[in-house]
Amino acid sequence: MEIKVGFEIAHATLQPTPMVIMLSIHPSRRQDIIGTETIAAEPNVPIKFYNDSFGNICGRLVAPAGGVTLRGSALVHDSGLPDAIAPTAQQSPIDQLPDDILLYLMASRYCETDKLTDVAWSLFGNTQPGWERAAAICTFVHNHVTFGYQHAHHMKSAHDVYAQGAGVCRDFAHLALTFCRCMGIPARYCTGYMGDIGIPYDPAPMDFSGWFEAYLSGRWYTFDARHNKPRIGRILMATGRDAADVALTTSFGRMDLMKFLVVSDEVVAA
């Protein structure tokens, strides 16, 4: 299938303000882009792209006084298959993990493994290590946390989510991946597009989505504690330890968000 994705994000500012943006499709999906992905600013200020330490594509620009509108679009080929399920995927002994994977077992800005290790072991200590354990964690978080945009807060951590039992997609991901780390499963945060493909249409405005990946049997597998079932048409944009590593926009100065529009639609042949 083909999926049309894009965004329009407008910020207002009183003075020239440097920015870093993370709005490009991830390098692992670049071969699926049909034609060219476009990202541009209005007014037409230059954007310099680079790869961060996690391999994500970032852009640098200076928003002029008055503000800037960022627009992006791409047509992406997708298999149309749901997220992979691998019940036999194994959990690797920690001493045998690759060096670059160890980072995803450790605490990070929004994922306090030290505060949740005892909770995690009390809940999941009797589960079978590997896929069964990661799936059990997702099911628990899915049932424990109530979704609602009114529960969103940029300072909310995994421990806060566990205590409050409410949040948005990033909060589901933070709590689940923190539990995975506590149980010895490397896990990383993911952000990207995920439209209403293969499910009933949702009339609410689209948003970027947050999920996580767990490292099992030598590769990364997608898990989504909010929906807790395989989905079709995820298009990855960035990965990191948690949402702090994959902020869509970072401004070095005061900015006000004026518009936020996201599109992720299957292209239906005429």
Rounded Cα gap, residues 122 and 153, in angstroms? 28
Per-residue confidence band for 262, with pLDDT thresholds at 50, 70 and 90: very high
Query: Any idea what the CATH number is for the domain that residue 179 is in?
Result: 3.10.620.30
**How many domains are contained in the chain?**
2
Handedness of CA 237, 243, 244, 250 (dihedral sign): positive
Percentage of the chain beyond pLDDT 70 is: 100
Measured CA to CA in angstroms, residue 125 lies from 75, 92, 181 at distances of: 44, 16, 13
Percentage of the chain beyond pLDDT 90 is: 93
Query: Any idea what the CATH number is for the domain that residue 6 is in?
Result: 2.60.40.2250
Q: What is the DSSP letter of 108?
A: B
Task: Count Cβ atoms within 10 A of the Cβ of residue 230 and give its class: 0-12 exposed, 13-18 middle, 19 or more buried.
Answer: middle
In a domain, 175, yes or no: yes
52 lies in the same domain as 154: no
How many other CB atoms are found less than 10 A from the CB of residue 208?
A: 20
Q: In the predicted model, is pLDDT for residue 187 greater than 70?
A: yes
Q: Which residues contact 112 (CB under 8 A, 6 or more apart)?
A: 157, 158, 159, 178
- The two three-digit tokens of residue 32, written as one number: 């699926």
219 lies in the same domain as 137: yes
- The two three-digit tokens of residue 123, written as one number: 């809940």
pTM, whole model, 2 decimals?
0.95
pLDDT: which is higher, 270 or 143: 143
Per-residue confidence band for 80, with pLDDT thresholds at 50, 70 and 90: very high
Q: What are 99's strand-pairing partners?
A: none
Torsion of CA 154, 170, 17, 30, to 10 degrees: 170
114 lies in the same domain as 211: yes
Ranges of H-type helices in 98-187:
113-124, 131-144, 158-164, 169-182
Task: Count Cβ atoms within 10 A of the Cβ of residue 141 and give its class: 0-12 exposed, 13-18 middle, 19 or more buried.
Answer: buried
231 lies in the same domain as 120: yes
73 lies in the same domain as 113: no
Tens-place pLDDT, residues 82-111:
999 999 999 999 999 999 999 999 999 999
Measured CA to CA in angstroms, residue 210 lies from 2, 122, 258 at distances of: 21, 26, 22
Tens-place pLDDT, residues 56-65:
999 999 999 9
> Please, are residues 182 and 174 in contact by the beta-carbon 8 Å criterion?
no
59 lies in the same domain as 99: no
Among the listed residues 261, 205, 267, 211, the one whose alpha carbon sits nearest the alpha carbon of residue 234? 211
Q: In the predicted model, is pLDDT for residue 263 greater than 80?
A: yes
130 lies in the same domain as 234: yes
Tens-place pLDDT, residues 199-251:
888 888 888 999 999 999 999 999 999 999 999 999 999 999 999 999 999 99
Tens-place pLDDT, residues 22-48:
999 999 999 999 999 999 999 999 999
61 lies in the same domain as 185: no
In a domain, 84, yes or no: no
44 lies in the same domain as 25: yes
Domain that holds residue 233: 94-244
27 lies in the same domain as 73: yes
In a domain, 86, yes or no: no
25 lies in the same domain as 143: no
Cross-sheet strand order for the sheet of 57-63: 48-51, 57-63, 17-21, 249-251
63 lies in the same domain as 161: no
Q: In the predicted model, is pLDDT for residue 270 greater than 70?
A: no
In a domain, 226, yes or no: yes
User: Where does 13-78 show beta strands of DSSP type E?
Assistant: 17-21, 33-42, 48-51, 57-63, 68-77
